[in-house]
Structure formats: structure tokens, C-alpha cells
Chain A
Amino acid sequence: MAANLIESIVKILFIFSVNIGFFSPILGWVERKQSALMQDRVGANRADVCGFTLIGLFHPIADAIKVLTKEDFIPEGADRLFHTIAPFISLTPAIITFAVIPFGGQYELFGHHVNLIIADLDVGILFVFAFASLASFGSVLAGWSSNNNWSFLGGLRASAQMLSYEVVMGLNIIGVIMVYGTLRLSQIGAMQADFFNWGIFLQPVGFVLFFTCAIAENKRAPFDVAEAESELVAGYFTEYSGMKFVMFWMGEFLEIVTIGALVTTMFFGAWHLPFVSDQMLLNYFRFAGPNGAASLAIVVNIITFFSKVIFFIWLQMTIRWTLPRFRYDQVMRLGWKMFLPIALINIFITGVVILAK
């Protein structure tokens, strides 16, 4: 009992420190450096502590200090309660969805069964979608409560876009569920121990559609019609200043991580190295004794998983700084007239192949 409690607390602290402590500040720096790279610039590199600049890694800290000490503004005529809680509503789902994403296999450590996932729900993938849908409440409330035309339009656009792409995303994962026969993300991960069972080989179309829809769901360029700097000033968070505004950004960055983790789990073999199963890892590390082998295997699992996640974060950053943004009607046409039929055909073909086997 106590061991279970300790295990859960350690896993929660680990995921929290990785997400809030590592990814969310460092992604601000990554985005700046990626934009600088794409535009042939140097990028932020002057913030120094005692003369050390560390290739600009202090800039996120400077930004954090500044936004924390900036005036917190609530516009006249705004709904104070909803204006205040909207950033929290849009940040929470991004943190919470990581609870059902596995970052390693299951091992015996000191006679205790360790499962490297915070909550091994049997409806894991539905849990992710339930909370991803809640994120749209944050955008809509932010837009509505600001008492500003641009915010309101941004909120409406955000809700329309997120609802449209959630439909296609849901249809895509039906293909994945049909192939693996389970909703439990840790089982989907475990079934990909064999390299040729990775989702990318079984559901290639599903991967492309899911990844695109996930980027659209996150409302980042090229699908940033909800923010739309050229049309709506700053979209649904026009009237936010200081830390509340940055909370929307943190939510966005953490969603990038969540998308990377989901894509890794469903399509890129989760925590598995190609051609290496967990049992083989335990055999490699047999020299360290049973507990040592399990610990080393856990470390390898976690490093593999987060390397894949980091790769997908980099891919999303590159897409964001490469492609020009879509117009609003183009986003809707892409979602409803192109992705939806392709997703339906994908489900049909998957069903036919499964039956024919």
C-alpha cells in the first residue's frame, strides 16, 4: 500500500518536473531559436548571469520575471470571474492528459510491481480526448469574458476549429483502436514491442491525419486562425496581460509535448527501441542483478520515450516556422471536406484488411 503510494507520488513528481520544470520553460527558448534558425538569425543570446549567457538559456527566466511583475489587467465590462479562470481552464487539460500516457514498461523492482504510467486507465485514450475537448472551454470563455470584439471572434473561431478537428482526430484513433483492439494506452504501447507492429506501419494514413489534426487542435500556425495576428490582433487572448497571457502560451507548449507523447505512444513504438523488447533489455543488463537490470531498463525506456517526444516537438516547431498560415475557410474546408472523408475511407480499409487476415 505504502509502496504503491510512494510509486505514484514519484511518478507524478517526475512527470510534473519534466513538463512544468523542463519542457514549458525550455520550449519558449526552443521556439525562439528555431525561428532564428529558419530566418538565418542568431536569436536571443544576451541575457547573462555573472557574464555567462549559456546560448540564451536565461531568456526564458528573464521573460518569466517580467511577466510575473507585469500589470494584471482586467478590461472594463469584462466578466471578472471567467476572465480570471479561463487561462487555468486552458492550461489544466494540457497538464492532466499526461497522466494516462505511458513512459515505460512494467518491471519488478525490489519485489514491487512498477508500471511506468501514472494512471493506467482502461479508457486511456478517451480520457485524453475528454480533456482535450475541455481545453476549448478555456478559449471560448477567454474570448467571451473579455468584452472585446476581437477576443470574441477569436473564441468563436477557436471553438469551431477545435470541434471540427476533434471529429477527424476521433475517427483517426478508431483505426488505431481497431488494429490494437484496446483503449488502454499502456497496452497499445506494449503491443508495439515488435518493430513492424509500430502504428506508423499499420496506420500510415492515420498517423499523417492525426498529427495534422493535433497541430490544428493546438491552434498553432499554420492553423492559427484563432490567434490570427493579422486579422484579430491576438485572438481570444487579446485582453490578457502578464502571467495570464503566458498561461495560454504554457498551455500551448505543454500541448505540443502531449501531442508528441501521444503520437509516440500510438504510432512510434512508445518506449521501445526498434527491434529491442523490454525482456531483451533486462537480458542485456543482467550483469547488474535483477533490481539493477530493472532500474537500467527503466532509465533506457524513459530516455527512449522522451527522445522520441523531443523529435516530435522539433518537427512541430519546424512545421510552425515553415508553412504559411491558412485562411479561415481553408481550415474548415481542409477539416470537413478532405480529412473527414479520408479518415472514413481509412477506417473502411482498416476493417477490410482486418477481416481479410
Chain B
Amino acid sequence: MIDTLKRKGGCSSCGGVDDDSRLLGGSVILTKLEAINNWGRKYSFFQYPFVTACCGMEFMSVCGPKYDLDRFGAALPRFSPRQADLLMVVGTISHKQAPILVKVYNQMAEPKWVFAFGVCAVSGGFYDNYATVQGIDTLIPVDIYVPGCPPRPEMVIDGLIKLQQKVMESRWSDYPKGASPVSNDK
């Protein structure tokens, strides 16, 4: 069943309705609720800036006048995780910091996305030691990895556009339905 659905919904930009329209000979225009839903979500990321290290400087630059993340509708920081959609993990996560990150992730209301900003968040970077988490994907699911030490603002914007494409492609069956929180034991 799921395979059939996947094969049917191939188109990324219009929520996978092209096949159905062709079957009906173009006599009707079809769209899906998830298309408008995804459209709204991709242009309205309220971020939670989880800034722990030097990448924060580059994050400020992305939000500042020259690169301006607000153009993509993603510049409204909400410091309460309940209201945020996009968890920006900016910088090194030490093992001491890890439970806090997991807690913040679990506190966020669905739908939520995670953005690993910089090589330390992606893989631990050159901090290959006992104190640093080797990539935040060992703790929480990550949607977009942007490496670099620190990443250029252009890379961050590229990552954000990729995330927007990912959101646009997400389907009704992928939407969270009360998934259990990430365990805090690691």
C-alpha cells in the first residue's frame, strides 16, 4: 500500500498530483491539502537558536543585514521551544550539554526540524575526544547537515533552501502522529 502511494506521488513541487491529473485527461485540476500545508510550513520557520560555540558569530552574520535569513521567512527566533519549529544547533555539543539539547528537542511542539550548523554539530569535528558528542545525530534526528568550520553564510542559506525542499516533499503519511520522545539515556 505504501509503495503504491510512493510511486504515485513523484512530483516534488506540487505534492505529487501530476500522475492523477494525467489519468483524468487534464479535465480537472487536482491539488492536495498537504501541498498548501507544506507551503505554509516551509516559509514560516520559527527558529530556536541553540548557540553553544563560535559558529554563533556566523549565525549572527546569516541573520544580519548582509545575508538576511528573514528573506526566507526564517528569522523569527522564539526562545520558548514550544513555539519554535527549527532547532538550530550551532556549535560544539559537549556530553554535559547533551541532556539539555535532548530536553529542548523533546519540549518542541510538532512539526519540528533540526538543523546541524557547523562541523562540530554534524560530526564532532576536530574535537575527536571524550568530552564532545560525535555529531548530534547520535542524540536526536537531524534534517539538514551544514558542515564547515564555521560554514559560510551562503552554505547556511543553501542548507535552508534544501530544508524547504525537503519540507515541500514531505507527505501526509510522514507527518508526526504523536511519536514518543527521544530517550535521554545516551
Contact with A along B63-80 (1 / 0, CB 8 A): 011001011110110111
Among candidates B39, B78, B82, residue contacting A62 with C-beta atoms closer than 8 Å: B39
**Mostly helix, strand, loop or mixed at chain B's interface?**
loop
Kindly list the 8 A-B residue pairs having the minimum CB-CB distance in the complex, ordered from nearest. A65-B40, A62-B43, A234-B80, A241-B109, A71-B109, A47-B43, A66-B44, A241-B82
Complex: A67 Cα to B85 Cα, angstroms: 10
B contact residues around A32 at 8 Å (CB) = 70, 76
Asked if residues B110 and A44 are in contact (CB atoms below 8 Å), the reply is no
Task: Indicate whether A149 reaches chain B with its CB closer than 8 angstroms.
Answer: no
Interface size of B as a range: 20 to 34
19 chain-A/chain-B pairs, Cβ below 8 angstroms = A41-B65, A42-B68, A44-B43, A46-B71, A47-B43, A59-B43, A59-B44, A61-B40, A62-B40, A62-B73, A63-B73, A64-B40, A65-B39, A65-B41, A65-B44, A234-B80, A234-B83, A240-B83, A245-B82
Asked if residues A46 and B109 are in contact (CB atoms below 8 Å), the reply is no
Asked if residues A59 and B73 are in contact (CB atoms below 8 Å), the reply is yes
Query: CB within 8 Å of A: which residues of B?
Result: 36-37, 39-44, 64-65, 68, 70-73, 75-76, 78-80, 82-83, 85, 109-111, 176
Closest CB in chain B relative to A236 CB, distance in Å:
11
Asked if residues B39 and A43 are in contact (CB atoms below 8 Å), the reply is no
Complex: A46 Cα to B37 Cα, angstroms: 16
A contact residues around B68 at 8 Å (CB) = 36, 41-43
B contact residues around A242 at 8 Å (CB) = 109
Asked if residues A66 and B70 are in contact (CB atoms below 8 Å), the reply is no
Closest CB in chain A relative to B43 CB, distance in Å:
4
Task: Indicate whether A229 reaches chain B with its CB closer than 8 angstroms.
Answer: yes
B contact residues around A59 at 8 Å (CB) = 43-44, 73
Could you tell me which residues of chain A, from 1 to 50, have a CB within 8 Å of some CB in chain B? Answer: 32, 36, 39-47
Asked if residues A44 and B79 are in contact (CB atoms below 8 Å), the reply is no
**Mostly helix, strand, loop or mixed at chain A's interface?**
loop
Complex: A40 Cα to B133 Cα, angstroms: 38
Complex: A52 Cα to B54 Cα, angstroms: 38
Contact with B along A199-240 (1 / 0, CB 8 A): 000000000000000000000000000000100011001111
Complex: A46 Cα to B110 Cα, angstroms: 24
A contact residues around B79 at 8 Å (CB) = 229, 233-234
Among candidates B36, B70, B80, B85, residue contacting A65 with C-beta atoms closer than 8 Å: B36
